[in-house]
Structure 1
């Protein structure tokens, strides 16, 4: 099929068939009557039918589509029906035993098909999808790929506008027909970039039949009893085609960008899940992101064209906004970064840096010892929040250079100073560079041959076509565009020297977020080799291995917060900080009532521990002073102190005191409460989260009462307090009567 046919079919409006006409066709040819509901579509006309025989979907498309293509879809549906892991619609035959019907309505030649209806809902309108759902889409892509791997049909040999093999040609054609389109320059640039990245690898990509539309529109989901989303089935095989296998996953990932909250890295779980089911070739992984960007461009262009042809199509208008969102997210990051992220996410390394035979960048300092300054989360240089002081890292490097002569930061050591308290944004804490404090006038030489460039903010860049050396703090007499040989003098240091390597012609940041560190680290490797300095961060403990060690030695009932817990190693005030420098608002801790790292508490506790750490049976002044100060804060009538070691022990002692004073045993316990693990404290605990048998294992002297909850409780609203009081009085009356 020619490009002319492709562009003609891409320009077709929806068929014009009224619900009444559709109902007549349905009854005449299928013997089915029922209520019709219009379903959205870009170029086809779809109706859901609710009948006494069940639910069906009537699909109507223009006769411009060859019958053999529709027959291929039916054959695929019949073939996939045998796969237990996939649920797809069944093809319903006409009264005459046909699966495909061609009719004429108001001088329109149309194809009719009837499929059964898969209950569930698409997730198009959900702004956020959980990691589990994103993985579900990727796993489904892998399963579909496996199921269609051996499927063949003459109708698959078609030229389809959504086939990424034709993306550049289609983008060029659509741009020519839409001269007033916004973002035109960006779309033209995308076409060039896609061609440059895909063309060298195209011949190596495996082919097969692919669905080409596993999106949030075409996968049906339902929540189970635990409110988890479960896939019910896949619909709409209208884009079935024989093309590159990786095209299927690219379509799915492009659709998921609509739910990524602006972060394209949110797609990586889908890619990992698909790769786990159907291992992808390296070439497929390398072209995946360019194909995702191409899909985004084709989506917006096709949508813009269809809206001009069919201005009353509500489905098109509703989709246009999130299709432009997909395009903006897809073009918000460099191709090279996402290619690196995809490769690293499935455990594929980037090739080593080609130029390993570096000359020393600082030949006059070869063999000299540097003070490597710890600027990480556990650094002993940081205390009492001093890391929040502006410029603290550079100040520590300056101080070290004053003492030792030479000082350097570590490449890849997450910086505590760059944490962002009270921010929903992930902080950029991972350094993709090394900062060195050297004597001014120290000479730098080119570690490899290349061309010299200058940038903003004092940037000096040596570029050899595949590798860039980026420097700040260098004064040079060389002109931009000068070609240098290896070992030629570059200039001299006149400020703190910042050194960054990059394996692509990009402008990488000096710091990146932890979630992007693996990808950026692959693109911006450590400059240690050209510095002759072991300046890389020391490897951290593997968090999964550390968690496994904890689980191996802890009692199973001692849980940890979160399924994938961050490793928290520092706290300050009302925040907790993990090993990547991410700061969390502490809303869970039940011990640190004065916050974390309180300077006065740390000082007083350290002083006391240096003097004495013993129990209250010994005689020392602090016991008397502490007890007196506590009683001064207590309500009138409380004139004695019991010192205990925990909340559990305090609750246990309180129960014993109540029994001793009252002579009774019965106690009221609020439902959903937890009071401790001792025998008495556990007896009055009713939280099934801490003890699944809490309610059935209560002793008969414990009487649970309803927990006050004006939002979700038994009694609701601002005026519900008296109802909770009456429920307590009712329990007291029952106890008294017994």
Structure 2
């Protein structure tokens, strides 16, 4: 009997050829020498040779591999070298005899050797995280390769190979024969049987051609893009090339991605779309894709276990075994029917999902007999933090049922009650079921003919279209195994004259017990598999669908384009609580940038005060009412002695604009000295003194003549660096003032942030403002402290930023946190400066200082004091800064950590000596943090600084979550 060559090969160990023997082979057959190092392989030996000028790969395989197979690999490389200009492949290097393949003997054993050029680049397998762009690029690369090989033919492609997915079933059965772990053996076998059962009817329609069959994260090499992300652009290791199913090419690629997926099989979909765009697949091939991915996962795990049983010291196999087990776990985590729909949807092939209909489960209901309860993000039933209370949905159902008779939750609703705080993954918030509260003892009837199954406390009706899962129905023991539509199933469980609860869920896939909730990304596929039960309930029970993309399109159509939004694909944020934000799908995000809401989001005391004042009065500040006087008095009391006069406005831009007007009016001059790299607002005047090129790329070329920027005293990356730079930076101001003096130009004033907020919270050089303020005042100018971002307790150690410099300005501007998101700002100054404005007439701001605004301002101050938020900024801010500095010890991308309190900045640089800004990396890091549940944005002229200015209620737990997620991004990649 002739033995199966495939079985023979699975038993073969790697060639027993050491590095020194490989060196001899290179010298003898290729005339090459240099530094040699071993590369990994499962059943071959590969050595990399570095000659100093070029690098090569010596490939050694056992003589059992036919020369014809090796010739096919070489021919494919030559073919692709001509047909695949967008990707790199190796070149075949002939031996000294001019042969592409040489037969050799080492210590009595026969081998075949080949030499290829070495492709520079890092394999993707070394990166735990792959960006969506990298995943799509890998799928696209596999598709381009498959398309280029469509017309490649060679007799060596007809081969017996254990990796050929056409033979996955028998290969796995063979490999499992001597697996010691019986539980794992059973799992692999069961998964494989399920995959083969789904695959078998599809195989007659699967196209075959030449395929690489191993375009994996381990067999592609990548180059870094401008953002530091690894992007695949080269393919290596053609050892598995054969004539096989075209779709198997994609299946192998997708399977390799699953150990980067963090447990989410949807991770592969960008690769599927990109492959399909480069090499279109049929609907049947797409249906076969997931079963083939499962089969590949089973082959990988079984093969590595089998190989390690024969070669325990094979470090390459051992190193890959953990990845392969993870691939298997992800592949076995979801039903094939679900992934089939997700894959078809990704490329536009998904079928329409018809509603399952039948008799009404609950007879005799009218359209007004049932009350739906709202558990969504926007629900009025979930005020403040009530949504976190365990058992809340049931108690709300019971309360509603007592009022109207029957109450139900909503199918297809993203429920706030399932949201968890500080989660790196989206929570399973999408409801695939409904709970109904109604009087106990009411009859429940079968909506369709079905077979009855009792399963773990559930009553399951297996019908022709779907299975119906019922919980809370007391079905008698005499219920027949098969029933007709309309047959009584039982009654609602519960005591007489009380209310009971039933749970209703449909599933089209027989034998599958679906989850009650799923994550938003998987909702569309699960909705197809588990449709709404409305068609069998007799009343509507569906929640509203969010239409975030449509909403964004409307925003972009009608909202002026210069009014930008965060992120290219922004989540639809509709709720906030303390230091957290929530999108419409129930995803929670830690808010690390919202310095507008200084108290935190959704503060109940502030909301109540605003509601009460609105119900009483809201008008403009020219009327006489108490709150405007009270707020003005309190603001004046917060300022240093002498600054006793207050203007109330709507924003920081207006506050800075007014401060400049006051400087002009008081001094009788026009010239203003400002700092480079600064941002002060969007009005004509405040924009004029803003020189940040991140906010306005033309800022330096479009300043009016009365604006005189001076060198930014940035002690980290400025013209002068370090602590002892005060004199150097002051000299740049002296130079500017001397120029104005020489031109006989009078000075109106000087404006700056007392802490360099736009650069990430960098403190100014010690004594800088003291020296500059003195020179400005000596020339009749006034000194403006822009505290809009850095003041009002955010710095922790200081209520006002100018206190850190030990100076007192002539004018203070404040806004943002002053109103906790309500439009409120203020200018605080001396009486004589304020009175100077009357020469130009009176000042008026319609909403500035309105009754509501004034109440808001007072309540914010009350809460700041009573909840000790500045002290919290000091403690938590110091803790967070220490954690961020510790990250800087491990990751050279972190150049510095700036700031104090809860105004911090992490500056990313590509080189700590040159301080080359890591602009693109910073943007990509912010996007990755969003995926992990953190809202973060860049700042600075180079957009390379994380601006960390969260609500002052930030907890140490939240600070840890942010630092942990940032560390994870820096460790895994972005």
Contact 2:374 2:409 in 1 (8 A): yes
Q: Distance in 2 between matches of 1:2 and 1:540?
A: 63
Partner residue, 1:462? 461
Per-residue deviation at 1:350? Answer: 4.8
Write the mapping of 1:67-466 to structure 2, written as runs, cut at 5 A. Answer: 67-82=67-82, 83-180=84-181, 183-350=184-351, 356=356, 358-365=358-365, 369-456=369-456, 458-464=457-463
The answer as to whether partners of 1:674 and 1:682 remain within 8 angstroms in 2 is yes
Does 1:511 find its partner at 2:508?
no
Equivalent-residue separation in structure 1 for 2:330 and 2:353 (angstroms): 29
1:638 to 643, 646, 659: 643
Deviation at 1:299, TM superposition (A): 1.3
Q: Aligned match of 1:524 in 530, 540, 543? A: 530
What SS does the aligned partner of 1:177 have? coil
Q: Deviations over 1:369-406 (max 9, x none)?
A: 32233332223333333333333333333333223222
Alpha-carbon distance, 1:332 to partner: 2.4
Structure 1 residue 547: Cα displacement: 1.5
Q: Which moved more, 1:382-391 or 1:139-148?
A: 382-391
The residue aligned with 1:12 is 12
Deviation at 1:334, TM superposition (A): 2.8
Q: Work out the CA distance in 2 between the residues paired with 1:516 and 1:379.
A: 23
When the two structures are superposed, what TM-score results if normalisation uses the length of structure 1?
Answer: 0.92
Query: Within 2, Cα distance between the matches of 1:533 and 1:29?
Result: 81
Q: 1:411 to 1:550 in 2, by over 3 A?
A: same
Match of 1:540 among 533, 546, 549: 546
Question: What are the ranges of 5 or more consecutive residues in structure 1 without an aligned counterpart?
Answer: none
- Comparing 606-615 and 105-114, the one that deviates more: 606-615
RMSD of aligned Cα (Å):
2.6
Equivalent position SS for 2:561:
coil
CA spacing shift, 1:308–1:698, aligned 2, 3 Å: farther
Is the 2:672–2:708 Cα contact (8 Å) retained in structure 1? Answer: yes
Q: SS in structure 2 opposite 1:183?
A: helix
User: Deviation at 1:527?
Assistant: 0.9
TM-fit CA distance, 1:242: 0.8
Is the aligned partner of 1:32 residue 2:32? yes
Moved more, 653-662 or 73-82: 653-662
1:113-157 residue CA offsets vs partner (Å, 9 max, x unmatched): 121222111121211111111111111122112111222211111
Q: Does the 8 A contact of 2:356 with 2:466 survive in 1?
A: no
* Offset at residue 220 of structure 1 (A): 0.9
TM-score, normalised relative to structure 2: 0.71
Asked if 2 retains the 8 angstrom alpha-carbon contact of 1:164 and 1:295, the reply is yes
C-alpha separation between the residues in 1 aligned to 2:319 and 2:724? 47
Question: 1:656: how far off?
Answer: 4.3
Is there any run of 5+ residues in structure 2 with no aligned partner, and where?
494-499, 740-974
1:509, CA displacement in angstroms?
1.4
- Structure 1 residue 75 displacement after superposition: 1.5
C-alpha separation in 2, matches of 1:308 and 1:455: 40
Q: CA offsets, 1:300-319, max 9 Å, x none? A: 22222222333333222221
1:705–1:731 CA contact under 8 A, matched in 2: no
Deviates more, 1:112-121 or 1:661-670: 661-670
1:465-497 residue CA offsets vs partner (Å, 9 max, x unmatched): 762110112111135872222222100112122
**CA distance 1:180–1:660, change in 2 (3 Å):** same
SS in 1 for 2:285: helix
Query: Is 2:192–2:294's contact at 8 Å kept on the other side of the alignment?
Result: no
Distance 1:158 1:715, change over 3 A: farther
**Any conservation in 1 of the 2:578–2:600 contact (CA below 8 Å)?**
yes
CA offset at residue 735 of structure 1?
3.6
2:55 alignment partner, SS class: strand
Q: Is the 8 A contact 2:179 2:185 kept in 1?
A: no
Task: State the secondary structure of the residue aligned to 1:411.
Answer: coil
Q: Any idea what SS the aligned residue of 1:65 has? A: coil
Q: State the alpha-carbon separation in 1 of the partners of residues 293 and 479 from structure 2.
A: 36
2:473 pairs with 1:474:
yes
SS of 1:589's equivalent in the other structure is coil
Please state how far the C-alpha of 1:346 moved relative to its aligned partner. Answer: 2.8
Shift of 1:438: 2.1
Question: Which residue does the alignment assign to 2:612?
Answer: 607
User: Counterpart in 1 of 2:925?
Assistant: none
Q: 1:404–1:181: structure 2 CA closer, same or farther, 3 Å change rule?
A: closer
Query: 1:676: which partner in 2?
Result: 681
How far residue 592 of structure 1 moved from its aligned partner, in angstroms, is: 2.2
1:705 to 702, 712, 735: 712
Structure 1, 166-175 or 221-230: larger mean CA deviation: 221-230
Higher mean Cα deviation, 677-686 or 558-567? 677-686
Cα distance change of structure 1 residues 455 and 180 upon mapping to structure 2, 3 Å threshold: closer
SS at match of 2:681: coil
Give 3-state SS (helix, strand or coil) of 2:88's partner.
coil
Supply the distance in 1 between the matched residues of 2:229 and 2:318 (Cα, whole angstroms): 30
Residue pair 2:451, 2:482 contacting (<8 A) in 1 also: yes
Aligned counterparts of 1:268 and 1:470: Cα–Cα separation in 2? 30
Moved more, 276-285 or 724-733: 724-733
Residues 330 and 619 of structure 1, relative CA distance in 2, 3 Å threshold: same
Q: Which structure would you say has the larger RCO, counting Cα contacts within 8 Å and 6 or more residues apart?
A: 2
CA contact (8 A) 1:139 1:273 kept: yes
Alpha-carbon distance in 2 for matches of 1:512, 1:210: 36
SS of the aligned residue for 1:702 comes to: strand
Deviation at 1:668, TM superposition (A): 4.4
Alpha-carbon distance in structure 1 between the residues aligned to 2:129 and 2:492: 49
Matched-pair contact (CA < 8 Å) for 2:507–2:531: yes
2:698 aligned with 1:693, yes or no? yes
Matching residue of 1:558:
563
Cα deviation digits, residues 75-106 of structure 1 (max 9, x gap) = 11111112222321121222333222222222
Match of 2:624 among 616, 619, 625: 619
Query: 1:546 offset after TM fit, Å?
Result: 1.9
The Cα shift of 1:657 comes to 4.2
Distance 1:727 1:444, change over 3 A: farther
| CA–CA distance in structure 2, aligned partners of residues 162 and 2 of structure 1 | 21
The answer to whether the 8 A contact 1:60-1:112 is kept is yes
**Partner Cα separation in structure 2 for residue 263 and residue 171 of structure 1:** 25
Instruction: Give the aligned length.
Output: 728
Which deviations, in whole Å up to 9, do the C-alpha atoms of 1:264-308 show, x marking residues without a partner?
222222122222322322222222222212212211222222223
